[in-house]
A and B are shown apart, each in its own frame.
Chain A
């Protein structure tokens, strides 16, 4: 009897979690639809868009450059450790470029933007919800989705590919510095290796990923903040959930896109 109750409780818990996940997904899809619909209806919130472009994009530049540079430096060092066993140090440039363009550039820049801007978006909208500011907008005949959500979603979706490129460039610079400085290798080998191995498709596919990541992180961050209730604790929980869910969705969607875009050579 106890065993039955135990499995019953587990089944109930799973069912509740599934229901919660379905409700959350439904809310995010509704918000996406509403944001897209409001994009094409006047008045256009160009000033809000520019403010968000600055907040999500311009103010992330230093962080992205530093993160990209350290990532490239680590890749060069690790690449050297692995490839020197086979005398293939000359391939490090290409390997670093491929890793950055296909995966690390879009994924890590998205994760950094989630930490810096996504969390702030959730906390800001959550505070606005809990202090009636979102209702105040609606009561003044200003649609909150159009004013608050659509500019953030568009700005993040547009700016993420640029941040990913910046990340990749900084990473290459970092890797080059380590390759030629600390490892004492010839810089021309590094550059030639990039030319040999990096294809335009690697870059464009990485940028497509960045666009999708920008959409996911902004939508999840906005949705969690927009629907946050329960005062300061509710805003805190919403922010944590926003960061966790958008990070997980980015990693999962990265796998799906990688499987679709980059077919393994046989």
Chain B
């Protein structure tokens, strides 16, 4: 279980997280929605242990990430799979080498065992036959799928997705969401997704949290969020230009 207690983070004069509180149950798909630049990625980076909060705690299965040293953080990060916004595949490595990377770093598998896992994971995301290509030689959607294969390589307990469908066409978006659903059903891992693509994430989420001005403003299932009475939540979910949210 992931538990976030009264998380605060400020960059210079800008208050980004202002007392964030929530918990995520094991094996669920939870989405964090909110405006662009509203601190969703910062919150996700705290959950992944890539940022330290000014105050507050991120507790994963009883272990407090906010008070861990490098060695303990690395130990717990081995349980994570992370899909970054642009994929963050290593340019200098091929598709197969990218997926093999975490296996080479953290397992004692032989080369043939690693290649077996790589082929299996690439098969799961529909990227069989592209093993020898470099990230620059494949499309944005394919890069996201390879990044997902890499994130799943170590069979993680928790997978974090940062804007998994940004910049993709509607068909590729649907394919990525279908992939998220399918891989989650296969492994019943905890998925945490950060996105502002409301319709897409509602199709895969068990629970949605809305981050607004540094706090969790609303929380519920997609159906509950659709009926949420708060006018800010209503406007954000409907995408209407009229309402309390003003475009800068």
Q: Which of B46-105 contact A (CB under 8 A)?
A: 48, 50, 70, 73-75, 77-78, 80, 82, 84-86, 88-91, 101-102, 105
> Would A127 and B91 be within 8 Å (CB), given that A138-B50, A139-B77 are in contact?
yes
Interchain CB contact under 8 A, A135 and B106: no
Tell me which residues across on chain B come within 8 A of A138, comparing CB atoms: 50, 77
Min C-beta distance of B22 to chain A, whole Å? 21
Stretch at the interface among A103-111, A140-148, A167-175, A191-199: A140-148
Interchain CB contact under 8 A, B85 and A141: no
Min C-beta distance of B39 to chain A, whole Å? 17
Q: How large is the interface on A (under 10, 10 to 19, 20 to 34, 35 or more residues)?
A: 10 to 19
A131 close to B (CB within 8 Å): yes
Interchain CB contact under 8 A, A133 and B105: no
Interchain CB contact under 8 A, A139 and B106: no
A248 close to B (CB within 8 Å): no
Interchain CB contact under 8 A, A133 and B91: yes
A12 close to B (CB within 8 Å): no
Min C-beta distance of A60 to chain B, whole Å? 19
Interchain CB contact under 8 A, B84 and A141: no
Tell me which residues across on chain B come within 8 A of A142, comparing CB atoms: 105
Contact of A132 among B77, B78, B84, B105 (CB under 8 A): B84
Min C-beta distance of B149 to chain A, whole Å? 13
Give CA–CA (A140, B159) in the complex, Å. 12
Contact of A140 among B77, B86, B89, B91 (CB under 8 A): B77
Min C-beta distance of B112 to chain A, whole Å? 19
Interchain CB contact under 8 A, A133 and B88: yes
> Would A140 and B102 be within 8 Å (CB), given that A132-B84, A135-B84 are in contact?
yes
A136 close to B (CB within 8 Å): yes
Give CA–CA (A132, B102) in the complex, Å. 16
Interchain CB contact under 8 A, A132 and B101: no
Contact of A139 among B82, B85, B86, B90 (CB under 8 A): B82
Can you name the residue of chain A whose Cβ is closest to the Cβ of B74?
A: A141
Give CA–CA (A196, B48) in the complex, Å. 65
Give CA–CA (A132, B89) in the complex, Å. 9
Give CA–CA (A246, B82) in the complex, Å. 36
> Would A133 and B102 be within 8 Å (CB), given that A139-B77, A141-B77 are in contact?
no
Q: Which of A139-172 contact B (CB under 8 A)?
A: 139-143
Interchain CB contact under 8 A, B78 and A141: yes
Min C-beta distance of B46 to chain A, whole Å? 13
Interface centre among A128, A131, A139 (most CB of B within 10 A): A139
Interchain CB contact under 8 A, B88 and A135: yes
Give CA–CA (A135, B101) in the complex, Å. 14
Give CA–CA (A140, B74) in the complex, Å. 8
Tell me which residues across on chain A come within 8 A of B102, comparing CB atoms: 140
Tell me which residues across on chain A come within 8 A of B89, comparing CB atoms: 133, 136
Give CA–CA (A132, B73) in the complex, Å. 18
What does the 1/0 interface line of A40-63 toward B look like (CB < 8 Å)?
000100000000000000000000
Min C-beta distance of A260 to chain B, whole Å? 38
Min C-beta distance of A30 to chain B, whole Å? 14
> Would A140 and B84 be within 8 Å (CB), given that A127-B91, A133-B91 are in contact?
no
Interchain CB contact under 8 A, B105 and A139: no
Interchain CB contact under 8 A, B50 and A133: no
Tell me which residues across on chain B come within 8 A of A141, comparing CB atoms: 73-75, 77-78, 105-106
Min C-beta distance of B207 to chain A, whole Å? 23
Not counting A131-B91, A140-B105, a sample of 7 additional A-B residue pairs whose C-beta atoms are within 8 angstroms of each other reads A132-B84, A133-B88, A133-B89, A140-B77, A140-B102, A141-B73, A142-B105
Q: What are 8 inter-chain pairs, A to B, with CB distance below 8 A? A: A128-B90, A132-B84, A133-B91, A135-B50, A135-B88, A139-B50, A140-B105, A143-B70
